[in-house]
Amino acid sequence: MIYSSEATAPEATATTAKEAKSLTDGVLLANSNPNVILPWVSFGTYKLGKTTGRESIVQAIQQGYRCIDTAFIYGGETTERQVGLAIQDALQQGIVERHELVIQSRQWRKYHGYEPTLECLNLSLKRLQLDYIDSWLIHWPGPAWSTMNRRKDAIEEHGAWHYAVHSPEDLPTLRADTWRAMEKALQDGKVRSIGVSNFSISHLERLKQTAVVWPPAVNQIECHPLFPQTELLDYCAKEGIVVQAYASLGGQDAGKNFWQKLYPLTKGTPPVTKLLNAPPVVSLANQVNRTPAQVLLRWALEKNMAVVPKTSNAQRLTENAAIFDFSLSAEQMMELERSLTERLEQAAMAEGGTVEGMARLCWRSDPLRLLDFD
């Protein structure tokens, strides 16, 4: 069944992140048509299992989550279908009406360019079984790859672009064409707002030169106390772009070896295996009588960022939503960032690497993960 876009605007309240009191509070997106209020706390679907994805999404909607965040490529191009089935379940069970939901998805990089982008959108709409997407983003500013079986020795010999389908010279034009297609989709009512993901300041500035619709409604980026991206946050605030943080809890791409570099094993203390159990995070959580996950999510809200935590665990689903009745002081946030950065700097020096290179916990297998290209 294809659900109509003729419903009224979402029944949500526009607030600042600090003032948000519930899962229906959100931020009014720039250039949205009709108006889209993006909830400050959404439900993420990255790496949700195929067998539990549909059920988890319905459960999240039952608990009050109103934004479901997904992407064309998630789950080997299977997750959007699970999201679509879950939406149908929720609608048919009377849990929610379509106009109360904000469905967010992303165009994949192998579809860069005008016509391919529109093709990607039509595939997403078919999988989601919807006739519009509320928030549609460019997933990644970089090139597609000819293979995912990229050899490190070949990259070391030939350079980071060795397996790239697109050339570095062509990318700015391709992104401009992609954005032009997204503007067309916005005009045609197939999407209600358009934005980007993983864009650096230079990527945004380049896009601004050709964009008709500006600013992008959203820039979804990796952001957490270990990788605070202060300069990019300041730029987006100046331009009127909503920052939506992913990997707020540290992501799933950094392994135990990474964390042992920051916090070497010590006799009598439990090993640090993720950002959630890093000592500064645990210490602050104990100080404010909250869980580490709640502290990390609240850290983002204090910086006026939206968040997209993902879980298939009912208890953590509730926990991730319970972040509206406490706050963190500027001093607490600064100390958290300082403590983590200090460890990061020590590890980077010992490893002969860069702080930025280590701090970015996601996209760790992508040769261009640091976005240091035009």
Residue-wise pLDDT tens digits, 200-211: 999 999 999 999
Q: Which residues are catalytic?
A: 74
Q: Is residue 367 part of a domain?
A: no
Give the phi and the psi of residue 58 in degrees, each rounded to 5: -60, -40
Report the mean per-residue pLDDT for the chain: 94
Tell whether 7 is covered by a domain. Answer: no
- Is residue 369 predicted with pLDDT exceeding 60? yes
Q: Can you tell me the distance from the alpha carbon of 356 to that of 368, in angstroms, rounded to the nearest whole number?
A: 13
Phi, psi values for residue 242, rounded to 5°: -75, 130
Contact of 70 with 104, CB cutoff 8 Å: yes
Q: What is the average per-residue pLDDT within 315-328?
A: 96
Is the confidence at residue 351, as pLDDT, over 90? no
Q: Is the pLDDT of residue 83 over 60?
A: yes
Split at pLDDT 50, 70, 90, the class of 2 is very low
pLDDT score of 9: 40
**Is residue 39 within 8 Å of residue 51, measured between CB atoms?**
no
**Domain range for residue 187?**
13-359
Q: 163 pLDDT exceeds 90?
A: yes
**pLDDT tens, 42-64?**
999 999 977 789 999 999 999 99
Report the distance separating Cα 189 and Cα 320, nearest Å. Answer: 32
Say if residue 6's pLDDT is above 80: no
The mean pLDDT value for 268-274 works out to 89
pLDDT over 90, % of the chain? 89
Which CATH number belongs to the domain containing residue 41 in this structure? 3.20.20.100
Whether 277 and 12 have beta carbons less than 8 Å apart is answered as: no
What pLDDT does residue 1 have? 31
Question: Residue 272 has what DSSP assignment?
Answer: P
Q: Is residue 371 part of a domain?
A: no
Residue range 87-110, pLDDT digits in tens: 999 999 999 999 999 999 999 999
pLDDT band at 4 (very low <50, low <70, confident <90, very high): very low
Residue 232 belongs to a domain = yes
In a domain, 2, yes or no: no
pLDDT per residue as tens digits for the range 291-304: 999 999 999 999 99
Quick one: pLDDT at residue 266? Answer: 85
In a domain, 370, yes or no: no
Nearest to 317 by CA among 5, 97, 55, 134: 55
**What is the 8-class DSSP label of residue 19?**
T
Residue 191 inside a domain? The answer is: yes
pLDDT on residue 288: 98
**pLDDT tens digit string along 220-262?**
999 999 999 999 999 999 999 999 999 999 988 888 899 999 9
- Give the ranges where 63-135 is alpha helix by DSSP (H): 74-77, 79-92, 114-128
* Count of the separate structural domains present in the chain: 1
Residue 22 lies in a domain: yes
pLDDT, position 11: 66
Confidence band for 179, pLDDT divided at 50, 70 and 90: very high
Query: What pLDDT does 371 receive?
Result: 96
Nearest residue to 130 via CA among 175, 75, 70, 198: 70
Residue 144, pLDDT > 60, answer: yes
Question: What is the pLDDT at residue 3?
Answer: 31
